Structure 1
Amino acid sequence: MTNPRRVAVPHLRYGEPLQRMIRTIQPEHLTGRLVILPALNLPAVRAATRVSPVDGRNLNRTYPGALRGDATQQIAYAVTERLLPSADYALDLHSGGSASFYLPSAYVYQGPNPDMFRRKKAAAELLGLPWSIQVVPRQGPSTFSAAADNAGVCMIATELAGGGMLTSALIDRLSQGLSRLLVGWGVLKAEFGPPDLGGTQWIRFDEDSTIYTPVRGLFEPECRLGDHLSSGERVGWIYPFEELNEPARPVAAPRDGIVTILRRPPLVDLGDALFTLASEV
Structure 2
Amino acid sequence: MAIDFEKAGKSIQDIVIDTDAGPLFAGRLCVVNNGPGSRVLVVAGIHGDEYEAQLALHRLVARLDADSVRGRLIVVPEANFPASANGTRCAPSDGANMNRTFPGDRAGTPTERLAAFLFHDVLPEADLLIDVHSGGPGYKGEAIAFAFHGPACRVPEAEVVRMMEAFSLPYITWQDGIASTFVGAAAAAGTAAIELEGAGTTLIEEGNVDVFADALLRGLVHFGVLAGDPPAGGTVSRHLDVRPENMFEADVPGLLEHRVRMGQRVETGDLVAVIHPFGGFDGPPHRVEARAPGIVISQRSLLRVASGDCLGNTGTPR
Q: Could you state the TM-score of these two structures normalised by the residue count of structure 1?
A: 0.91
- Quote the residue 1:130 is aligned against: 170
Alignment of 1:40-55 (within 5 A): 40-55=79-94
Does the 8 Å CA contact 1:107/1:157 hold for their aligned counterparts?
Answer: yes
Say which is worse superposed, 248-257 or 17-26, in terms of deviation: 248-257
- Quote the residue 2:194 is aligned against: 156
Alignment of 1:1-281 (within 5 A): 3-12=36-45, 13-14=50-51, 15-109=54-148, 111-113=149-151, 116-136=156-176, 138-139=177-178, 141-189=179-227, 191-195=228-232, 197-281=234-318
Count of residue correspondences: 277
Separation in structure 2 between the aligned mates of residue 244 and residue 24 of structure 1, nearest angstrom:
53
Does the 8 Å CA contact 2:169/2:235 hold for their aligned counterparts?
Answer: no
Q: Any idea what SS the aligned residue of 1:104 has?
A: strand
Judging changes above 3 Å, is the alpha-carbon distance between structure 1 residues 250 and 87 closer, same or farther for their aligned structure 2 residues?
A: same
1:209 is displaced (CA, Å) by 1.6
Judging changes above 3 Å, is the alpha-carbon distance between structure 1 residues 24 and 2 closer, same or farther for their aligned structure 2 residues?
A: closer
For 1:145-199, what per-residue CA distance to the aligned partner results, in whole angstroms no more than 9, with x for missing partners? 122113322211111212134433232233222122112222112x243346332
Q: Any idea what SS the aligned residue of 1:55 has?
A: coil
Gaps of 5+ in 1: none
Q: Could you state the TM-score of these two structures normalised by the residue count of structure 2?
A: 0.81
| Bigger strand share | 2
Q: Which runs of 4+ in 1 moved over 6 A?
A: none
Does the 8 Å CA contact 2:268/2:291 hold for their aligned counterparts?
Answer: yes
Gaps of 5+ in 2: 1-33
For 1:36-73, what per-residue CA distance to the aligned partner results, in whole angstroms no more than 9, with x for missing partners? 11101111112222211011111111111112222111
Does the 8 Å CA contact 1:8/1:91 hold for their aligned counterparts?
Answer: yes
Judging changes above 3 Å, is the alpha-carbon distance between structure 1 residues 236 and 198 closer, same or farther for their aligned structure 2 residues?
A: closer
Structure with the bigger RCO (C-alpha within 8 Å, sep 6+) is 1
Does the 8 Å CA contact 1:123/1:156 hold for their aligned counterparts?
Answer: no
Separation in structure 1 between the aligned mates of residue 213 and residue 281 of structure 2, nearest angstrom:
49
